[in-house]
Amino acid sequence: MNKFSIYAVLFSFAFFASCGGDKSKSGQDESKPVTEETDAPASDPSSYDPHRGEGKFDSVELGASLDQAMASKGEEVAGVKCTSCHKITDEKLVGPGWKGVTERRKPEWIMNFITNPDPMIDKDPEVQAQLEICLVRMPNQGLSDDEARSILEYMRKNDGVK
């Protein structure tokens, strides 16, 4: 072996050895379990509105007809952020298919879910049932409000809104 290979192996060993091991060396108090702090109202499922979901969208205004430009933008965003897990049919991929979602859910719920999925997954009994089928939590994709609204318009187009 040449010198570079020897140094690479030693560095790798030192790096991986330092990643695990005794927590007391890291300064963490081992007598206290590590927990996430949450405030009671946010974790209280009884305060959850299953029609609106949980998030900042209380009201979403939809036009009587489809906004084609917004739907096209939504299709582009969905192609990057959503279609690796969701099909536009009713067929499950990783997550459930999108067909009919705008008929089953209010726009506020959809917008809140795609921008703020974690608390809704934790509280919504229907989403929890879906999680048992899909086995994968939807990650927060970090969508802007405009991107989320465009995806909603694309979902409406998929569901036949003209």
Query: For residue 134, what are its two tokens?
Result: 């899909």
More confident position, 7 or 73: 73
Q: Is residue 100 part of a domain?
A: yes
Cα–Cα distance between 138 and 118 in angstroms, integer?
8
Q: Is residue 25 part of a domain?
A: no
CATH code, domain carrying 146 = 1.10.760.10
Cα–Cα distance between 154 and 161 in angstroms, integer?
10
Least-confidence region, from 2-11, 119-128, 145-154: 2-11
Burial class (CB within 10 angstroms; exposed 0-12, middle 13-18, buried 19+) of 52: middle
Q: Is residue 76 part of a domain?
A: no
Please report the pLDDT score of residue 86 as a whole number: 98
| Residue 111 belongs to domain spanning | 87-162
Please report the pLDDT score of residue 124 as a whole number: 94
Please report the pLDDT score of residue 11 as a whole number: 42
Q: Is residue 155 part of a domain?
A: yes
Q: Is residue 19 part of a domain?
A: no
* Token pair 């999925």 in the structure block, residue: 117
Residue 27 confidence (pLDDT) above 50: no
Cα–Cα distance between 134 and 66 in angstroms, integer?
30
Is the pTM here over 0.85, yes or no?
Answer: no
Cα–Cα distance between 107 and 45 in angstroms, integer?
21
Number of domains in the chain: 1
Q: Is residue 97 part of a domain?
A: yes
* Token pair 């084609």 in the structure block, residue: 68
Q: What are phi and psi of 20, to 5 degrees?
A: -115, -160
Number of other CB atoms surrounding residue 36 within 10 Å: 5
Cα–Cα distance between 99 and 73 in angstroms, integer?
18
| End-to-end CA separation in angstroms for the chain | 68
> For residue 92, what are the β-bridge partners?
86
Cα–Cα distance between 86 and 8 in angstroms, integer?
42
Percentage of the chain modeled with pLDDT above 90: 69
Per residue in 109-146, pLDDT (tens digit) is: 999 999 999 999 999 999 999 999 999 999 999 999 99
Q: Is residue 1 part of a domain?
A: no
Per residue in 50-92, pLDDT (tens digit) is: 899 999 999 999 999 999 999 999 999 999 999 999 999 999 9
